[in-house]
Amino acid sequence: MKIALVHKRLDLKGGTERDLLETAVGLTAVGHEVHLFCSQYNVTVPAAIRTHRVLAAPLGRTIRLWSFALNAHKEIRKNGCDLVINFGRLIDADLLRCGGGTHRGFLQWMAIHGGMRRRSWQAISAYHQSLLAFEKRQFSSPQLKKIIAVSESVKSDIVANYKVAEEKIAVLYNGVDHHRFHPRNSLEHRCSVRREWNIPLDAPLVLFVGNGFRRKGLDGLMSAWSSPQLSEIYLLVVGTDARIDRYRAWANSVAPGRVRFAGHQANSEAYYGAADLLALPSVQEAFGNVVLEALAAGLPVAISRNVGAAELLTGQLLEGIIEQPENPRELADKLLALLDKSGSPALRHQARQIGENYSWENHFREFDAILLDLCGRRLAARVS
């Protein structure tokens, strides 16, 4: 099948962008002819995947949004693809992959948490209103045959905001490279990473991985780290944020010497190998790829119920779900309880099993079945 995958850019900085590349590689591996339509390519694309550069206006994000969508349609039509899969903002597609929830739902969340100034700006912003217009058209497009949601919570968000029939939405959890993220990384990297960041080899170490610290829940962790309960525990932050200097100052005031900021790290598997536990107490998170990465590496996780990947936890790992991610006492109690059990071979085996179950190989077998079903329906419609 000749498949078009469409998104504004391809890189490894965001979850959607990484999933786009994995999807292109995975669908190629199962025998499809994959064509990427992006305006920016910031990583090397395997030779077997065809790339098409879509022109987008260089200035102004609203103009860039509309120009990319219109030019992408022209490029796709020229190349005659059998199936169009939309990863972002395209007006019409056969399949829409919804990896971050709806923009309408996000704005409703921001109306509660963002303050009056933010609410007023979003109400008049041409960019936000354009996104809402795109979204409304996407979910009502006659061309749209299927929606892939990355979690049940995303599916519920779509149904609540756009009244889409539930049977039109398939929940397909993201996958993980369970060869790259593996318990053996602890043997290979625990000492070297800890030495690099001046963390004692025998100290309990909690890992946080993510960009956009407030939404990912680092504020809650910073508040928890002032607790005497965590006075012997280190926190290693991998990722970036526009206000990182503010977080460094905050860490120095509440836990001097026990919070390290590593910035973006291409070899994130080494950091899972150095840690005892992953913490992701997000206030809003459609899925959370880092949760699967940690589980595949054999790490227990402390994550808020707002994280879509919390739906995958079973057995003792369910004890890692945080009900109130902005409550520092609950966070501290949860972290301590999990750290006490983090060395348990049974718990680490449970984590690893989930990582293996949700490998990219299994993900693309399910994805391919969805695509073949769609293709069969289209052929049947043409014959009738």
CA distances from 370 to 27, 31, 148 (A): 12, 15, 9
Q: Are residues 191 and 327 in the same domain?
A: yes
Q: Are residues 147 and 123 in the same domain?
A: yes
* Predicted pLDDT at 114: 67
Q: Compute the average pLDDT of residues 295-314.
A: 97
- Evaluate if residue 381 carries a pLDDT over 60: no
Q: What is the 3-state secondary structure (H, E, C) of 159-205?
A: HHHHCCCHHHEEECCCCECCCCCCCCHHHHHHHHHHHHCCCCCCCCE
Residue (of 169, 158, 23) closest to 95 by Cα position? 169
* Predicted pLDDT at 100: 86
- Evaluate if residue 35 carries a pLDDT over 80: yes
**Whole-number Å distance between alpha carbons of 36 and 22:** 12
Lowest mean pLDDT among 42-51, 100-109, 229-238, 370-379: 370-379
DSSP H helical ranges for the chain: 15-29, 61-79, 103-113, 115-124, 126-140, 152-162, 185-196, 213-216, 218-224, 244-254, 268-274, 289-296, 328-341, 345-357, 360-383
Q: Are residues 74 and 200 in the same domain?
A: no
196-252 per-position pLDDT tens digit: 999 999 999 999 999 999 999 999 999 999 999 999 999 999 999 999 999 999 999
* Other Cβ atoms closer than 10 A to 284: 21
* Predicted pLDDT at 378: 57
**Whole-number Å distance between alpha carbons of 373 and 229:** 54
**Whole-number Å distance between alpha carbons of 283 and 287:** 12
Residue 194 within any structural domain of the chain:
yes
Burial of 296-316, coded b for 16+ CB within 10 Å and e otherwise, reads bbbbbbbbbebbbbbebbeee
- CATH code for the domain of 330: 3.40.50.2000
**How many domains is the chain built from?**
2
Q: Are residues 212 and 93 in the same domain?
A: no
Q: Are residues 222 and 86 in the same domain?
A: no
Q: Are residues 122 and 81 in the same domain?
A: yes
244-302 per-position pLDDT tens digit: 999 999 999 999 999 999 999 999 999 999 999 999 999 889 999 999 999 999 999 99
Q: Are residues 104 and 120 in the same domain?
A: yes
Find the domain containing 205 and state its range: 185-357
Q: Are residues 299 and 278 in the same domain?
A: yes
**Residue at 380: amino acid letter:** A
Residue 151 within any structural domain of the chain:
yes
> What's the pTM?
0.91
Residue 180 within any structural domain of the chain:
no
Q: Are residues 320 and 216 in the same domain?
A: yes
